[in-house]
Amino acid sequence: MPTSLAPSASAAQAVERSVLLERLDATLQPERFQDYGPNGLQVEGRAQVRHLVSGVTASRELIERAIAAGADAILVHHGLFWRGQSACVTGWMKQRLALLLAHDVSLLAYHLPLDAHPSLGNNAQLAQRLGFSPLADGWGRFGEQDLGFVGHTDCPDALSLAAHVQQQLGRPVTLIDAAPGRPLRRIAWCSGGAQSYFEAAIAAGADAFITGELSEPQTHLARECGVAYLACGHHATERYGAPALGAAVAAELGLTHQFIDVDNPA
Residue 95: give its domain's CATH number.
3.40.1390.30
Instruction: Identify the pLDDT of residue 1.
Output: 52
Q: Which domain holds residue 58?
A: 9-111+240-259
116 found inside a domain: no
Do residues 157 and 96 both lie within one domain? no
pLDDT tens digits, one per residue of 97-128: 999 999 999 999 999 999 999 999 999 999 99
pLDDT tens digits, one per residue of 214-230: 999 999 999 999 999 99
Q: Which residues of 79-116 are buried (b: 16+ CB within 10 A; e: fewer)?
A: bbeeeeeeeeeeeeeeebbebbeebebbbbbbbbbbbb
Do residues 126 and 217 both lie within one domain? yes
174 found inside a domain: yes
Indicate the pTM of the whole model.
0.94
Backbone angles phi, psi at 234, to 5 degrees: -60, -55
3 found inside a domain: no
| pLDDT surpassing 90 at residue 139 | no
27 found inside a domain: yes
In 3D space, the residue among 210, 218, 200 whose CA is nearest the CA of residue 153 turns out to be: 210
Do residues 50 and 93 both lie within one domain? yes
Do residues 40 and 105 both lie within one domain? yes
2 found inside a domain: no
1 found inside a domain: no
pLDDT tens digits, one per residue of 229-263: 999 999 999 999 999 999 999 999 999 999 999 99
Do residues 148 and 232 both lie within one domain? yes
pLDDT tens digits, one per residue of 141-199: 999 999 999 999 989 999 999 999 999 999 999 999 989 999 999 999 999 999 999 99
Do residues 184 and 253 both lie within one domain? no
142 found inside a domain: yes
DSSP letter string, 103-114: TT-EEEE-SHHH
What's the structural domain count of the chain? 2
Instruction: Identify the pLDDT of residue 171.
Output: 95
